[in-house]
Amino acid sequence: MSASMKGVEMANKTTQKVPVNKDHFIEVLKLKNTSIRKLGEAYDRIERTEKTIRRCLDNGEMPPDLLDRIAKHLDVHPDYLSGAYNEKADEMEDAYLRVLFHSFMKPERYPYLLKAKSEIGYTTYFENILTMNDISMEMFQTLPPTKRVKFRQDLIVAILRVITEYFTHDALGNDLSETLLYCESMVGDSDPFSYFANLEGIGLSEDELYSSTQDRNMTDSERNLHQKYNIIEKE
């Protein structure tokens, strides 16, 4: 690639912007007890001046790396900070659901941790645990499907038992003891509706699973676990 083409490519990358709702952005700053001026003062973390941030907000868009740095600094999901979640809520046809969804849209429900977790994903998370303990996926695949499901269930319980010794709630405010009790109750369960059964090829298809989890009446603990492993929520 020639130097001129590289220059054009770099320019295109730098000009890519994401939409930002200024009013919502300012509202989030108020909820976080901060301001644009204070964001500018946090230059060591955000790497942009107050003037640059104001200009982006006035234009209704900003570079994704800037949005991400500000979101991380404020500990909120970038999509929540930009107002993208609000737009999705506004698109709901049912007025009651629209109001209900908005009522739940608080900063503490959308910490930056959700963004970080989405970039990992359960599959990578699981494979990394095996790798760090010198177990390859090839070794794991030699187990029968039902044992692979139980292995995943046992692993979650083992990790949660350690975590609950030191923490009572997770970053989203969920009671970890309730989550642990639910996970313990599911060990050995070969329910074809389960995410792990689906992963190991002995459950329902992804579409059938999604439809079933929507139709069933779920407990809060069950719903939290499904959301934790990205079973219900689909972007």
**pLDDT tens track for 40-51:** 999 999 999 999
Q: Is 19 helix (H, G, I), strand (E, B) or coil?
A: strand
pLDDT digits (tens, 9 = 90+) for 180-207: 999 999 898 877 778 888 888 887 655 6
pLDDT digits (tens, 9 = 90+) for 128-156: 999 999 999 999 999 999 999 999 999 99
112 plus 7 within the same structural domain: yes
139 plus 194 within the same structural domain: yes
pLDDT at 235 over 50: no
Residue percentage of the chain with pLDDT more than 90: 54
Residue 235 lies in a domain: no
Query: Domain boundary residue among 96, 116, 136?
Result: 116
Give the residue-averaged pLDDT of 8-30.
77
Residue percentage of the chain with pLDDT more than 70: 80
Question: What does the block give as tokens for 214?
Answer: 């929507």
The answer to whether residues 96 and 64 touch, using CB atoms and an 8 Å cutoff, is no
* Residue ranges making up the domain that contains 157: 120-228
Residue 141 lies in a domain: yes
* Eight-state DSSP code of residue 108: G
Query: Domain boundary residue among 69, 98, 116?
Result: 116
Confidence of residue 8 (pLDDT cuts 50, 70, 90): very low
How many domains are there within the chain? 2
pLDDT at 84 over 70: yes
pLDDT at 12 over 50: no
Q: Is 50 helix (H, G, I), strand (E, B) or coil?
A: helix
Q: What pLDDT, on the 0 to 100 scale, is given for residue 194?
A: 80
78 plus 139 within the same structural domain: no
User: Which long-range contacts (C-beta less than 8 Å, at least 24 apart) are formed by 187-196?
Assistant: 187/150, 187/153, 187/154, 187/157, 188/150, 188/153, 189/153, 190/146, 190/149, 194/149, 195/226, 195/229, 195/231, 196/148, 196/149, 196/152, 196/153
Give the residue-averaged pLDDT of 61-73.
95
Residue 131 lies in a domain: yes
- What pTM was estimated for this model as a whole? 0.66
